[in-house]
């Protein structure tokens, strides 16, 4: 029999969302008539913007002609899309990211899981707690942790608590680490980092020769003026950060798949002898070997999201979900629950009623209200006592969800 990667056996339980799905399915089978409202996994529900659809139709038609046919896409992405992203997402905010520092991909989930491959198996990793589970699981799979304890904390990983006292965002660790995953606006807590917080992180990373793996997949949800949308808005970040961005939650691409990684040319790691090595070159090398590019029609659709019409349509989508988040915040507040996030993010983070564990709260909402959310403990030990509701739903379902929660007695 073939020898397996034993590190996979350390993974505590299943991946969070399939486990949520399993419980929901069991409930559905037991209550086939229940009117389920799903505010669990953050998956968009509104149709694709017209400008995106039109561009994709045109791209498909083009590929049906002799002169317009295209085979493999360039593995780093078509320059027309890299240029549109560099101009709209970075240049317009005064940020210096060159088009060819942008690596187009099929999703931030894969990117944030794959990035660790270019670093040493001995690299010390810090993750926010609670966190997007992919950061933890991908490092466990790669052998950078010991086993999990009863709370689900893996030996060897450094957990950075995101509590009410820290504003539900992590603070720099006081021990040396090589890589830190940061996510702002944060999944799951819905908090967004201020300029001062990010300046502290960049200064810390420069002092400690660490690299920040900055996931800004929800950047388009930032509503408060002055909050950075990119880590590269911070002076010195080009020497210490890699950024992950995505069109999933902004232009509705969860089904189409399009994201990117921005890797500045100055960013360096070191080899076994201590000599500096370009991270850009390593990531480029990995990308070229393991990825064959995103489909041309999808990239054409993504570029259309960066036209003035596309940008207006994206804004409308984001505003719709943000209005949902506001309705959730108001409704939960009037039901007597303490809430966080939801202003610069499509996620509302709520404190479970005193003494109620987050999976217990999940089961109660499901059983009593046919409502699906995500238990905080699924995002890490410090998520216990909290619960995440996603604003990605139709407005009438959000209002119905709020009504059901208001009827519950906490
Ligand atoms: C979430 O619900 O946390 C996200 O949808 C997961 C993802 O983007 O992969």
pLDDT reported for residue 145 = 97
Question: Measuring from atom 9 of ligand 1, which residue has the nearest CA?
Answer: 109
Q: Which of 275, 308, 341 is the last residue of a domain?
A: 308
CA atoms within 13 A on the CB side of 130: 27
Residue 339, domain member (yes or no): yes
Percentage with pLDDT > 90 across the chain: 94
Same domain, 153 and 240: yes
Per-residue tokens: 128: 């926010």
Per-residue tokens: 220: 């388009």
Q: Best mutation site among 15, 41, 348 for ligand 1, i.e. most ligand atoms within 8 A of its Cβ? A: 41
Task: Look up the CATH number of the domain holding residue 74.
Answer: 3.40.640.10
Question: Measuring from atom 4 of ligand 1, which residue has the nearest CA?
Answer: 42
C-alpha 134 to ligand 1 mean position (Å): 10
User: Would the pLDDT of 12 be above 80?
Assistant: no
How far is Cα 350 from Cα 347, in angstroms, rounded to an integer? Answer: 10
Mean pLDDT value of segment 370-385: 95
Q: Which residue has the tokens 């890699």?
A: 242
Phi, psi of 117 (to 5 degrees): -60, -30
How far is Cα 175 from Cα 89, in angstroms, rounded to an integer? Answer: 34
DSSP codes, 147-182:
-B-TTSPBTTPEEEE--GGGTTS----SS--SEEEE
Same domain, 224 and 324: no
Q: What is the domain count for the chain?
A: 2
Residue 5, domain member (yes or no): no
Q: Which of 308, 326, 345 is the last residue of a domain?
A: 308
Rg (CA), the chain: 21
Same domain, 124 and 241: yes
Nearest 5 degrees, angle CA 182-CA 188-CA 190?
Answer: 85
Distance of CA 202 to the CA centre of its chain: 20
State the residue range of the domain holding 197: 52-308
Per-residue tokens: 157: 């990983």
How far is Cα 403 from Cα 11, in angstroms, rounded to an integer? Answer: 38
Same domain, 156 and 143: yes
Q: Best mutation site among 42, 347, 348 for ligand 1, i.e. most ligand atoms within 8 A of its Cβ? A: 42
User: Would the pLDDT of 97 be above 70?
Assistant: yes
Atom of ligand 1 nearest to the CA of 374: 2
Same domain, 147 and 100: yes
Same domain, 272 and 170: yes
Q: Best mutation site among 111, 112, 132, 341 for ligand 1, i.e. most ligand atoms within 8 A of its Cβ? A: 132
Which of the two residues, 163 and 151, has the higher pLDDT score? 163
Atom of ligand 1 nearest to the CA of 132: 3
Same domain, 196 and 294: yes
Same domain, 151 and 280: yes
Closest C-alpha to 263, from 186, 211, 199: 211
Same domain, 268 and 315: no
Phi, psi of 101 (to 5 degrees): -95, 5
Per-residue tokens: 120: 């040493």
Residue 3, domain member (yes or no): no
Same domain, 282 and 332: no
C-alpha 108 to ligand 1 mean position (Å): 10
Task: Look up the CATH number of the domain holding residue 349.
Answer: 3.90.1150.10
Q: Give the pLDDT band (50/70/90) at residue 15.
A: low
C-alpha 248 to ligand 1 mean position (Å): 9
Atom of ligand 1 nearest to the CA of 390: 2
pLDDT in tens, 295-314: 999 999 999 999 999 999 99
Residue 314, domain member (yes or no): yes
CA atoms within 13 A on the CB side of 228: 24
Same domain, 18 and 152: no
Q: Which residues line ligand 1 (CB under 6 A)?
A: 41-43, 109, 187
Average pLDDT over the chain, rounded to whole?
96
Question: Measuring from atom 5 of ligand 1, which residue has the nearest CA?
Answer: 42
Residue 347, domain member (yes or no): yes
Measure the CA dihedral 265/283/12/372, to 10°: 70
Q: Give the pLDDT band (50/70/90) at residue 150.
A: confident
By residue count, the chain amounts to 410
Beta-carbon contacts of 275 under 8 Å, excluding residues fewer than 6 positions away, are: none
C-alpha 45 to ligand 1 mean position (Å): 13
Same domain, 165 and 154: yes
Order of strands, sheet of 374-375, starting from the edge strand that comes earlier in the sequence? 339-341, 347-351, 386-390, 374-375
User: Would the pLDDT of 249 be above 80?
Assistant: yes
Residue 4, domain member (yes or no): no
The DSSP bridge partners found for residue 268 are 278
Residue 7, domain member (yes or no): no
Q: Which of 280, 308, 336 is the last residue of a domain?
A: 308
Task: Average the pLDDT over each of 15-24, 119-128, 251-260 and give the range with the smallest value.
Answer: 15-24
C-alpha 295 to ligand 1 mean position (Å): 22
Residue 322, domain member (yes or no): yes
Tell me the C-alpha to C-alpha distance, in Å, between residue 350 and each of 32, 121, 168, 236, 249: 28, 36, 11, 35, 21
User: Would the pLDDT of 340 be above 90?
Assistant: yes
pLDDT in tens, 163-202: 999 999 999 999 999 999 999 999 999 999 999 999 999 9
C-alpha 270 to ligand 1 mean position (Å): 32
How far is Cα 217 from Cα 389, in angstroms, rounded to an integer? Answer: 17
Per-residue tokens: 11: 């993974």
């Amino acid at each position: 029999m073939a020898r397996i990667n034993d590190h996979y056996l350390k993974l505590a339980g299943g991946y969070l969302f399939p486990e949520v799905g399993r419980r929901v399915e069991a409930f559905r089978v037991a209550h086939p008539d229940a009117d389920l409202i799903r505010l669990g996994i953050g998956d968009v529900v509104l149709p694709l913007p017209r400008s995106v659809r039109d561009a994709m139709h045109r791209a498909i038609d083009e590929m049906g002609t002799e002169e317009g046919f295209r085979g493999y896409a360039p593995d780093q992405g078509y320059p027309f899309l890299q240029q549109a992203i560099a101009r709209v997402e970075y240049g317009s905010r005064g940020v210096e990211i060159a088009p060819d520092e942008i690596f187009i991909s099929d999703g931030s989930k894969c990117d944030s899981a794959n990035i660790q491959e270019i670093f040493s198996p001995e690299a010390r990793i810090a993750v926010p707690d609670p966190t997007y589970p992919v950061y933890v699981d991908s490092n466990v799979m790669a052998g950078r942790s010991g086993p999990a304890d009863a709370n689900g904390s893996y030996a060897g990983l450094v957990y950075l608590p995101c509590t009410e006292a820290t504003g539900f965002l992590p603070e720099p660790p006081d021990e040396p680490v090589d890589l830190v995953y940061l996510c702002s606006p944060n999944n799951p807590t819905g908090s967004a980092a201020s300029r001062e917080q990010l300046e502290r992180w960049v200064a810390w990373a420069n002092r400690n020769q660490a690299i920040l793996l900055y996931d800004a997949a929800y950047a388009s949800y930032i509503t408060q003026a002055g909050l950075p949308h990119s880590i590269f808005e911070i002076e010195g970040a080009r020497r210490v950060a890699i950024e992950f961005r995505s069109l999933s939650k902004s232009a509705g691409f969860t089904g189409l798949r399009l994201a990117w990684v921005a890797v500045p040319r100055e960013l360096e790691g070191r080899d076994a002898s201590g000599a500096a090595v370009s991270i850009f070159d390593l990531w480029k090398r990995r990308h070229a070997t393991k990825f064959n590019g995103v489909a041309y029609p999808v990239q054409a659709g993504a570029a259309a999201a960066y036209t003035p019409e596309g940008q207006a349509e994206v804004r409308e989508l984001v505003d719709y979900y943000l209005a949902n988040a506001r309705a959730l915040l108001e409704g939960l507040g009037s039901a007597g629950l303490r809430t966080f996030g939801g202003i610069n993010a499509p996620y509302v983070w709520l404190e479970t009623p005193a003494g109620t564990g987050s999976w217990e709260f999940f089961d109660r909402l499901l059983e009593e209200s046919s409502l699906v959310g995500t238990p905080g403990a699924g995002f890490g030990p410090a998520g216990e006592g909290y619960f995440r509701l996603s604003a990605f739903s139709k407005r009438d379902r959000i209002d119905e969800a709020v009504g059901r929660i208001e009827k519950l007695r906490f």
